[in-house]
Each structure stands twice: as C-alpha cells, then as structure tokens.
Structure 1
Amino acid sequence: MDTEEIIAKGRRCINIEAEALAKTSAQLDSAFAQVAATVIDSLSDGQKLIFSGIGKSAHIARKLVGTFNSIGAPSTFLDPVNALHGDMGLCRKGDALFAFSNSGETEELLRLVPILKRFEVRTVAVTSMSDASLSKLCDQRLIYCADKEACPLDLAPTASSTASMAIGDALAMVILEWRAFSREDFVQFHPGGSIGKSLAASVDSIMRPTGQFAISSDEATCKECLQHMTNPNSGCIALTDENGKLSGIFTDGDIRRLVLEDADFLGKSVSSFMTQAPITINSGSLAVEALRIFENRKIDDLIVVDADFKPIGVIDGQDLTKVKMV
C-alpha cells in the first residue's frame, strides 16, 4: 500500500468509529437516565458498582472501574468465570452490576446474571443488541450503536468497543456532575501525577512573592501606586495600613474607570478609590482552593496573606495556566 492508501484506510476506521459514537449519542433516551438514577441510588446506599465482561469487554470494564473509582464511585471488576467459583463473595445487596457484551449472548454472563439477582444485585446490560438474551435477563440496559466494525473482516471489536467505552464514560461524567464532584475531590483521589501535584500544591509555590508584585502604603497617591504597578508589571497593587496589614487593593480596572470618571485622580490618595477588604487566601492553602476562588468570584488577582494578615504574595489568574491548573 502506498502512503495515500494507508492514510485513507486509517481515516475509514476512525470515521466508522465516529459514526458509531454519533449514533450512540443520538439514541440515548430515558433508559440512560434511569440507569444513572440506579447508580446514584446504589452509591447513596453505600454500595458499589461491579463491572464484568469477557475478552475485549473485560478490558473496557476494567477501564471503567478505574474511571468510576477516580470520581469517588467505589467500583470493582468481577471476572464472570471466577465469579462462579467463589468470587461472588464480593457482591452485596444493592450493588449495581454492569455486564458488557456486544452480542448480548456471552455465555458466562448469561450464567452469572441470574445468580447475582438472587443476591438482590441490580443488573444492567451494556450491549449493542436490545433484544439479546442479556438485555432480557438484566433489570436495565445501556444500548450503544455499532452497525459494523472498522475491521475489514467486520470481526475485530473496534466500533463496538469504542461505543461501549463511550457510553460508560458518559455515564461516569453524568454521575460526576450529579454528585457535584469538585476539583478538591479530584485532588483527594489523584494525589499522584502532574494533575494531582499541581492541584495539591501550596499557593506559596505558585504566587508571585515579595519583589515580584506591587505593594504600597494606602496613604500613597494613585500616581505613586501606578508607578509601583508598572515596575513589576502587575495588574494590581496590595495596599497596607500603618501596621503593614492588608487594607485594600487597587487594580488596572480601577485605573481605567477613573480615567473616565475623575481626570484628577492621579494626585489623590489611593485610599479613596481602593477596594477595601479584598478577597484573600491564606498562606499554606492548597492551590486548588485558589482556583475555586477565581472561578466563583470572577476576579483577576488574588492576594496571599500570612497569619498576621500581611500581604506576602499575589496570584494572577494567568499564573494558573502556567502550572496546568486550567
């Protein structure tokens, strides 16, 4: 095959899988919402999610176990063969089982589901066949669309595995939002890796420390403050009282407004125009807490204060992108 033919065949595979995803998305209905409600009920009762499958479906099930665990939804994988030889001991009343089978006729799952229902385990078939035996056996079903595989022989799981993975991911993300899973929760379950490290970092490690942000007495004039802000190229200046404690903040936005409202503001005391009691964060706080403040309060700059409420640093909203927090 020449280069163009190789590229064309690669695109064909991706396009077939993309078509399966589009059709799966289009056919989502109330059954999907009902499965989501079942998951919430199980988790709210302190129960867990169980994922099971054979072959490629087992790999997908294991991946989704990791996804749900990562969002705080306790999950485990159950090998359907081993389940029939003792592993069903992990199942409890109220758990929710997700049985993955593209054909819906996987023998091991067809043997497993009726036994688990005796344990009063809630069962969900994840398959492309709504009228398959597995769909009929289970309490609920998630049906994805895979009219054909990207494999030229229409044998190797490609479109079907992609679609089944996607519908599982979709369910996980719905559960994440339903449970109001926050960035702080994400840090709790992801202490390692670059994401966890950046979110779990201290604000002291990402702030602009003394010497790299503008600070002045609140008795200074607006012109003097503007000069201080220009030197460290800062979008704000932290203002302090006679004891060195934070008393206010003066920003680029304030200056732009004053240019239009008061042409003589430069010679006046900044205390007349500063924002008193500005939003702050304590030294030692998690960086993810700073991120939450930026998102909730819609500010551009956040002042870091020490135990005596003295400004020791400033976090610019743009600094968060440098540490891959947004």
Structure 2
Amino acid sequence: MPPSYNPAMTAFDRDRALRLAQETFDIEARAVAGLKARTGESFARAVEKILDVRGRVVVMGMGKSGHIGRKVAATLASTGTPAMFVHPAEASHGDLGMIKAIDLVLAISNGGESDEITVILPVLKRLGVFIVAMTGNASSTLARHADVVLDSGVEMEACPLQLAPTASTTAQLALGDALAVALLDARGFRSEDFARSHPGGALGRKLLTHLSDVMRSGDAVPRVTADTAFPQLMREMSAKGLGASAVVDDQGKPIGIFTDGDLRRLIEKGVDLRAVVARDVMHPGPRTIRDDELAAEAAALMEQYRITSVLVVDAEGKLVGAVNSNDLMRAKVI
C-alpha cells in the first residue's frame, strides 16, 4: 500500500518551484486567450437576455466553480446587474424558492455533470427560467438543458496532476468578467453608479461626497469686508482656524482672499501692518467652487493652483463656505 503524502518526504527544489510557477502562468494565459476565438453569437445572446431579464441573475456553481460563481455574482451586482449566488445543494433543500420565472440562471460547471446542478435543471425548465450554462463540456447534461452555452473549456489544467481546477477556473473567472464588462457598457454604467454600490470605499467617497457635506459654513467661515482694518482681519483668521480669510463685497460675494502665507511675506518685506486694510493686502479674484460640486473637485483645484484652501459659493456667487486640505483629509477624500 503506498504511503500517504508527507511534505517532509519531499525536499524543496527552488528551481522546480519557479519553473512550475512560470508554466502555470503560461497555461492559464493560454486558457484565457483561447476564449477569444470561441466567444461569439452565444455570448452576445447571453448578454442580450441578461439585459432583458426582469428579475435577477442567479449564479450557481459547485466546488471551485461555486467560488468563481460567488465572485461573478458580486461583480455583476456591483456593476449594475442585479445578481445573487444560490448554492445548488441548498437549492434542492428549499433555496430553489428564491428563484422565480422572471430570473435568469447562470450555471457554472466545467464538466457540466455536477449532480447538485443537474438534479434541479428540470425544475428550472418547468419554471420557465432562462438558463445560461458556462461549461467546458458542450455535450454535458448542463449544456443540453441550457438555452445558451458559453464555452469555458481549456486544453489542460495547470495542476501537474491534472486534478485541481486551475486553468478552468481562471477561464470561468475571465468569462464572467467579460460578461460584466459587456453588460455595464450596454447599460451606460458610469463611475458614479459604481460609487453608489461602494459608498464605504475610497472611490465612493470621492464620487459621492459633495462640498456641502464637508465644507465649513455659517459663522465658521472667516470673512471680512474690503475696509476691515488689519488687526481685525487677523483676529478673524485666528478665531476661525482656516489659515485664510475671505474678503467679500456688500452682497457677500468674495472679491479677495488673505492667507497665512501672505502674512509671512508681508512681515518679510517689513510692511507697516497697522496702516493697511484688507483691500491693500488681499489677493483679488480668489479661486472659488460651487457648493454642489464634488469635494474631489476642490482637491483637484487645490492641486492645480498649489493652494491649501478654496472658497465655496452658491449659484449666485455668494460666499457660503470654505474648505482646506485638512478638511478634505478628515473626510478621506484625499
């Protein structure tokens, strides 16, 4: 009787490990590239049917194909196609009730003969559910029951024993991604739509956070008029902690800005600050941004003009807020 496998019995061969890694990359790259020639009318029909489905795309798969199926379902759901994963084994014990006639089933199985899937195929057909098969066996039970067959077959697995699903699961993953990409393009899916399903991520914060959500407003915004004496200007800046103060006209529209950097430069020049007013030291025509713009736009404006704060105005051009780089960092926009 042959001994059971014991890792300690095999000496590690560094060169062999590197060679196997490189061969794995080559085999799996060929598996993905091979899909290109076999992706045609059936793929287009699958995309068309998914676009028309009134319910959800229900993804199924057993074993390693099931892991791929979960990822495919998640990718579809995050790119505008309502989708969920249903475990085939659980489907036979009640979860089949999750699937309605208005849904579409995407069943993934390399061999196409997984018992847990084949046993529920007749039930799905009786329900009138449209079935898309992703399989490497065009003559399998799954392929025969499917309305559309996507060929995910590979010539060989990367596993040297030809046992562990490797190249075949890579091909399934690539084919699932191709479906998601084709679908999001057909739906006109935009980065803003993607952000709505990822509100907790960095992209979500950048694409969903508006200036009105993070800006300083009301009395927290430092502002003076053009005739404000310099000592009062400094008190306003110090009290509000923005590192700058807006200079506004009688209508509340910003006409200038004075910053901490301006103060340092005036001191270096030896200017008699007791004799000046805000008009004398402000930068006219300050950079402003609308309050309904994204906070990320304010960050881009600061980077473009190498400034650390920007004034926020409403649709009429009146000062309603201010934001600096620290505010954007706290909001995790930058």
TM-score, structure 1 as length reference: 0.67
Determine if contact 1:50/1:76 at 8 Å carries over to the other structure: yes
Count of aligned pairs: 272
1:102 aligns with 2:110: yes
Letter in 1 for 2:40: D
Corresponding residue SS for 2:119? helix
Change in CA separation of 1:205 and 1:86 when aligned onto 2, cut-off 3 Å: closer
Determine if contact 1:100/1:125 at 8 Å carries over to the other structure: yes
Determine if contact 1:53/1:101 at 8 Å carries over to the other structure: yes
Q: Aligned to 2:79, which of 61, 64, 71?
A: 71
Q: Aligned to 2:125, which of 92, 99, 117?
A: 117
Matches within 5 A, 1:1-326: 1-42=12-53, 45=54, 47-203=55-211, 243=251, 245=253, 281-283=290-292, 285-287=293-295, 290=297, 304-306=312-314, 308-310=316-318
Q: Give the number of the structure whose alpha-carbon radius of gyration is greater.
A: 2
Report sequence identity in percent.
Answer: 36
Shift of 1:97: 0.2
Shift of 1:65: 1.6
Determine if contact 1:304/1:315 at 8 Å carries over to the other structure: no
Change in CA separation of 1:28 and 1:5 when aligned onto 2, cut-off 3 Å: same
Tell me which residue corresponds to 1:250.
Answer: none
Shift of 1:94: 2.2
Shift of 1:200: 2.7
- Deviations 1:262-313 (Å, cap 9, x if unpaired)? xxxxxxxxxxxx9xxx995325x4447x49xx9xxxxx78984236523666
Letter in 2 for 1:182: R
Letter in 1 for 2:206: S
Shift of 1:242: 7.3
- Deviations 1:152-193 (Å, cap 9, x if unpaired)? 001100000011011011101111111112222222211113
Letter in 1 for 2:291: N
Corresponding residue SS for 2:317? coil
The answer for unaligned runs of 5 or more in structure 1 is: 208-216, 218-237, 248-273, 295-299
Change in CA separation of 1:287 and 1:162 when aligned onto 2, cut-off 3 Å: farther
Partners of 1:153 and 1:127 lie apart in 2 by 21
Corresponding residue SS for 1:57? helix
TM-score, structure 2 as length reference: 0.66
Letter in 2 for 1:104: G
Letter in 2 for 1:32: F
- Deviations 1:232-256 (Å, cap 9, x if unpaired)? xxxxxx9998746379xxxxxxxxx
- Deviations 1:21-41 (Å, cap 9, x if unpaired)? 111123211110110001000
Change in CA separation of 1:308 and 1:130 when aligned onto 2, cut-off 3 Å: same
